[in-house]
Amino acid sequence: MSDAAFVAVDWGTTSFRLWLMSNSGEILGERRSAEGMTTAMRTGFANVLTSHLTALSAPDGLPVIICGMAGARQGWVEAGYVDVPADLSDVLKGAVRVSGEASDVRILPGLAQRAIDMPDVMRGEETQLLGALSADYSSGQQLVCMPGTHSKWVSVSDLKVTGFSTFMTGEIFDVISKHSILSHAMTDAANFTGDLPAFQAAVADSYKHPQMATNRFFTVRSGQLLNGLSATDAKAKLSGTMIGLEIAGAHSTAPRDAKVVLIASGALGELYKAAFAALSIEFITIDADEAVRRGLVAAANAIWH
């Protein structure tokens, strides 16, 4: 590990990812855990960080760059927000140093949109965005989708963030699935992919009739009672309805000719790809894991070189 130059950390609400990096951008080690902010608030942020560096036998005193909820008010040290409209490079300038640590630990700020009628915030996605767009830069208007518990849709024009909107798609899907009457209809649902016709039909229907969202939720139940809708189709229908609603909303906030960029990984990324295909929306995909690491590396280079 003598090549180790710095440590990059993506510290979310419920997830922790760490990479040990060389100066040349090589990944020397990687750690993933569920010790997000929620856990670290109890066990201590410094303790969590140290335990993972020890596990990798990392040398002492490496500088550490962090993005995400570790910079929230209830996080390690509050890193504030950069207000939009903003150049993505402004995020790099706003890193806050954690005092009292032997090594140089810095947390990147989030982005805030202070418009009184559509206030919004993000933490972590700005770094993903920075990593994604600097590598895959194209001029003109882009509409960037970062799906998740709280999906972010960002309007970007020539590397300037002009505005963004958060949609609570993942969390609302989760609470409805677990805590509403629809939970019964989805018991025993198998995993499904975006190929499932019930998913694609729900995306298209919800995109076209977003005002019917809470009605479509109920048809998951009534479809089971009257039409024998299967548990898997029921779950796919709820998921498609939520995602179609989100895309309808996000699309309405941007010019029609904005290029859609999907920053995602894994199964959720596949669902969004299928949703875009069902709506005949053209898009390009950038891997989310890679994007956030690349953004952290860019920040480290800007700060320490």
Applying CB under 8 A, does 180 fall inside the site for a copy of itself?
Answer: yes
Report in angstroms the alpha-carbon separations of 13 from 16, 36, 39, 229, 253: 8, 5, 8, 35, 27
d(CA 251, CA 253) in angstroms, rounded, equals: 5
Cα three-residue angle 218-219-222, rounded to 5 degrees:
95
Judge contact between 35 and 48, C-beta under 8 A.
Answer: yes
Secondary structure letter of residue 229 according to DSSP: -
Taking CB under 8 A as the rule, does residue 226 contact a copy of itself?
yes
- Tracing tokens 């089971």 back to the chain, one arrives at 224
- Choose the stretch contacting a copy of itself; rule: CB under 8 A; options: 99-107, 165-173, 277-285, 297-305: 165-173
Contacts with a copy of itself in 122-151 (CB under 8 A)? 150
Among 47, 54, 138, 215, binds a copy of itself (CB under 8 A): 215
Return the H-helix or E-strand segment holding 110.
Answer: strand 110-113
CB of 226 to a copy of itself, least distance (A): 4
Nearer to a copy of itself, 189 or 201 (CB): 201
- CB nearer a copy of itself, residue 16 or residue 167: 167
Among 57, 171, 190, 193, binds a copy of itself (CB under 8 A): 171
Nearer to a copy of itself, 99 or 211 (CB): 211
Task: Select from 184, 189, 200 the least CA-distant residue to 278.
Answer: 200
- Count of residues that interact with a copy of itself, criterion CB under 8 A: 46
Residues in contact with a copy of itself, shown as a per-residue x/- string from 81 to 120 under the rule CB under 8 A = -------------------------------xxx-xxxxx
Concatenated DSSP letters of 159-175? TEEEEEEEE-HHHHHHH
| Segments in 63-106 forming alpha helices (H) | 89-93
The radius of gyration of the chain's CA atoms, rounded to the nearest angstrom, is 20
Q: What is the DSSP letter of 150?
A: T
Question: Which residues sit opposite 18 in a β-bridge?
Answer: 9, 31
Q: Which is nearer to a copy of itself, 212 or 303 (CB)?
A: 212
197 binds a copy of itself (CB under 8 A): no
Q: Which of 166, 230, 239, 285 binds a copy of itself (CB under 8 A)?
A: 166
Segment near a copy of itself (CB under 8 A), from 30-38, 44-52, 161-169, 288-296? 161-169
Among 139, 211, 257, 305, binds a copy of itself (CB under 8 A): 211
Chain positions 59 to 88 lying near a copy of itself, rule: CB under 8 A, are none
C-alpha atoms less than 13 angstroms from C-alpha of 8 in its C-beta half-sphere: 31
272 counts as binding a copy of itself under rule CB under 8 A: no
Nearer to a copy of itself, 198 or 296 (CB): 198
Token code pair at residue 115: 């418009």
Q: φ, ψ for residue 198 (rounded to 5)?
A: -60, -35
Alpha-carbon gap, residue 32 to 109, rounded angstroms: 22
Interface residues with a copy of itself (CB under 8 A) are 112-114, 116-121, 150, 165-169, 171-172, 175-176, 178-181, 205, 209-215, 217-219, 222-223, 225-227, 242, 245-246, 248-249, 252-253
